Amino acid sequence: MSTSLSPLAAAYVSSVNDGNATAFQRLFAPDAVVHDAGHTYRGLQEIKNWSDREIFGANVSLEVTAESDSAGETVITTKVDGTYDKTGLPDPLFINHHLQMRDGQIVELACRLAVEQTAG
């Protein structure tokens, strides 16, 4: 699917797909918070540890299937692949990335399983 992402959302997806952990880290505000898989990560060091392990260490790639913007939040729906443990996860795996942004940086990110999607 071809979708036109906002610049910060596009940078988020590109940094993951390019395996660029440094660029990914620069997207987050110093006081940013990430919610993923039942855990909360606060501040740049915790977010770095999480992303090094869960994104870059697992060679995650994102294929954008949809984007929506409302009430100060951007939601990017992606088909996710990588070398992570896929036991018990849907196949294909779709994740909604809820991005809240301020002053050109991500201040909050919540990653949640997307409701049923069709592979396409």
Q: Model pTM?
A: 0.91
pLDDT at position 70 is 86
Fold of 7-113: Nuclear Transport Factor 2; Chain: A, (3.10.450)
Distance CA 63, CA 53 (A): 20
Give domain limits for the chain.
Answer: 7-113
pLDDT at position 71 is 81
pLDDT at position 1 is 43
Q: Is the peptide bond before 92 cis (omega within 30 degrees of 0)?
A: yes
Q: Which residues of the chain have pLDDT under 70?
A: 1-3, 116-120
CB crowding 10-40: b at 16 or more within 10 Å, else e: ebbbebbeeeebeebbebbbeebbbebeeee
Place of tokens 């294929």: 63
* 74: number of Cβ within 10 Å: 19
- Output the average pLDDT for the chain: 93
pLDDT at position 115 is 80
